[in-house]
Amino acid sequence: MNGGFFFWLVVKAIVITFIAIFFGLLYKGIDRKIVAHMQGRVGPPIRQPFLDVIKLMSKENIVPKHAVRWLFNAAPLICLASSVMLLLYVPWGGIDAILEGHGDLILILYLFAIPSIAMVAGGFASSSPFAAVGAQREVVTMISYELPLAVIIIGIAWKLSGIGGDVFSMAFITAHPIWENVGLLGLIGIVMLLLSMIIVAPGELAKIPFDVAEAETEIAEGLTVEYSGRNLAMFYMADGVKIFAFSALIIALFFPYGIASLLSLNGVIASIADFLFFLLKVFIVMLFSVTLIRAGVARLRITQVVTGYWVTITLIALIGLVLLMWDSHVGRWL
């Protein structure tokens, strides 16, 4: 890696950091506003997440007396940095990932676990019993949704393996949309994988009904109960960035389409159109995978989370995988 490449990588990473934080907080504001209206409330203004971050940044960082200070303070920074790093490997806005060729879909799945692990470490480091319970619940939730998520990824990669190429490369996946490589049975299978991915999203993002690790009414915010000031602000921004990143991943896997070619656009105008279309897709994905679910479903118990992911959602994903396999055999017979 030469100096010039490293310099521009840092510049692009900084730009992406600001873009991801801005749109992550913006989508959080839109999400809160929509949920409020669906529940018959006025709700906070869309700019509220930005106001919250500004306020938290001006507050004092309070560290519990018996906390592991260095880990307690490092956890929010690691959580935010790893959330931003996800966007270096996920293509978005019609642009290939900045680190394309230096990592694949398997690496992205590991990176998605790092923010949650950082929160777990911070929870345990705080010495709070509420945070310890939240950390234990977060670990159980992670173990639960990883299985159906792995089945989804295997299903897409297995189907694309018939084309030939690096099936775990994000560039390859976005260049060969899965919908264009299946028959009728495969189409049904992909819909089932997409449904599973949408239900995995609130668990991955710790949103209702899978926010058992925070559960304000039960364990007083759980993992972040002892956090304040800039540390809490970093957790808050990381949450928004992770929502943006996971939505971008869903788009890359299932909807890697642009709008510029459809409108016969070229040059800078085409790039702007594709980026705006990408933001629209992120909003739609967030609406169906986060907003509507948390507005219409109450929080689950931790036992229900495990059963739901390990049994129900994994079964749906496995049926989708089987349909993809049958689709290949039917296509071969025909």
Task: Name, in order, each residue with C-beta under 8 angstroms of 164's C-beta and a sequence gap of 6 or more.
Answer: none
Q: Are 199 and 19 in contact (CB under 8 A)?
A: no
By residue count, the chain amounts to 334
pLDDT of residue 215: 66
Which amino acid is it at 234?
Answer: M
pLDDT of residue 36: 87
141 is a domain residue? yes
Q: Are 111 and 246 in contact (CB under 8 A)?
A: no
Half-sphere exposure of 42 (CA within 13 A, CB side): 3
The per-residue pLDDT for range 30-48, each reduced to its tens digit, is: 888 888 888 878 888 888 8
Q: Determine what percent of the chain falls in helix, strand and coil, rounding each to the nearest 5.
A: 75, 0, 25
pLDDT of residue 38: 83
Distance separating alpha carbons of residues 174 and 297, to the nearest angstrom: 32
pTM: 0.87
Identify the H or E element spanning 167.
none
Distance separating alpha carbons of residues 165 and 92, to the nearest angstrom: 21
Q: What is the domain range of residue 148? A: 3-329
Distance separating alpha carbons of residues 181 and 167, to the nearest angstrom: 13
Identify the three-state secondary structure at position 224.
helix
Task: Name, in order, each residue with C-beta under 8 angstroms of 86's C-beta and a sequence gap of 6 or more.
Answer: 108, 111, 112, 241, 242, 245, 249
3-state secondary structure 31-87: HHHHHHHHCCCCCCCCCHHHHHHHHHHCCCCCCCCCCCHHHHHHHHHHHHHHHHHHC
Residue 83 token pair: 């959330």
Domain count within the chain:
1
Q: Are 81 and 143 in contact (CB under 8 A)?
A: no
Instruction: Please report, for residues 105, 147, 238, 276, the alpha-carbon distance to residue 150 in angstroms, rounded to integers and kept in the order given.
Output: 11, 5, 23, 30
Whether the bond between 209 and the residue before it is cis, its omega within 30 degrees of 0, is yes
334 is a domain residue? no
129 is a domain residue? yes
300 is a domain residue? yes
150 is a domain residue? yes
Q: Are 226 and 64 in contact (CB under 8 A)?
A: yes
The per-residue pLDDT for range 259-290, each reduced to its tens digit, is: 877 877 787 888 888 888 888 998 898 888 88
81 is a domain residue? yes
224 is a domain residue? yes
pLDDT of residue 331: 53
162 is a domain residue? yes
Segments of the chain with pLDDT less than 70: 1-5, 93-94, 213, 215-222, 328-334
pLDDT of residue 193: 92
